[in-house]
């Protein structure tokens, strides 16, 4: 295994872990409710990450790490164990693991559509400086997917 400290320091991993956990809720195979959206938003607001960093963490760390959960028939529905989540995201970041399987019950583009829909519900609980950035340039999901699919392979 590649030394993960070359990807992110232990301190940075510790800093990111609450955000990884909160954002991973978007990919649990269970219908989210208002309390879930509020929890995700609260975690984002309480972090010291800028809106642009949250955007990057969602689309280039969490989505590639756990997005496939919504693309399989028997997805995890009770949440991801913290140690597993951490290792999974680090493996994707270090290119030891492909972000998405070649097959799934949903296309990756459909996964992006679902993520944006759920994210818009989280954004209702965030200040506009977050919601504006998290949703900008993504309203056209086909274009957003086309611009990013090579990064997710």
The runs of H, that is alpha helices, within 2-151 are: 10-24, 34-46, 51-57, 63-66, 82-93, 108-123, 128-135, 141-148
Q: At what angle do helices 34-46 and 10-24 cross, to 10 degrees?
A: 160
In sequence order, the 6+-apart residues with CB closer than 8 A to the CB of 27 are: 62, 63, 66, 67, 69, 70, 115
Q: How far apart are CA 114 and CA 92, in angstroms?
A: 21
| Residue the block writes with tokens 């955000």 | 19
Q: How far apart are CA 35 and CA 38, in angstroms?
A: 5
Cα–Cα nearest to 86, from 153, 19, 39, 2: 19
Neighbours of 113 (CB within 10 A): 17
pLDDT at 51 over 70: yes
- Per-residue pLDDT, 97: 73
pLDDT tens string 56-83: 999 999 999 988 877 776 666 667 899 9
Q: How far apart are CA 68 and CA 126, in angstroms?
A: 26
What is the model's pTM? Answer: 0.85
- When mean pLDDT is compared across 16-20, 64-68, 71-75, 138-142, the lowest value belongs to 138-142
Cα–Cα nearest to 84, from 70, 111, 103, 65: 65
CA angle 85–58–10, rounded 5-degree value: 50
- Per-residue pLDDT, 77: 64
Cα–Cα nearest to 47, from 132, 136, 126: 126
């Amino acid at each position: 295994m590649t030394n993960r400290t070359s990807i992110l320091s232990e301190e940075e991993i510790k800093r990111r872990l609450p955000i990884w956990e909160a954002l991973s809720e978007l990919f649990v195979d269970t219908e989210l409710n208002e309390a879930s959206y509020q929890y995700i938003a609260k975690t984002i607001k309480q972090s010291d990450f800028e809106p642009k960093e949250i955007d990057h963490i969602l689309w280039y760390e969490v989505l590639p790490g756990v997005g496939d959960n919504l693309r399989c028939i028997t997805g995890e529905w009770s949440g991801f164990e913290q140690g597993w989540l951490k290792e999974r995201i680090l493996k994707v970041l270090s290119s030891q693991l492909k972000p998405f399987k070649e097959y799934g019950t949903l296309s990756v583009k459909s996964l992006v559509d679902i993520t944006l829909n759920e994210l818009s519900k989280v954004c209702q609980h965030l200040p506009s400086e977050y919601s504006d950035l998290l949703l900008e340039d993504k309203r056209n999901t086909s274009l957003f997917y086309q611009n990013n699919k090579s990064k997710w392979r």
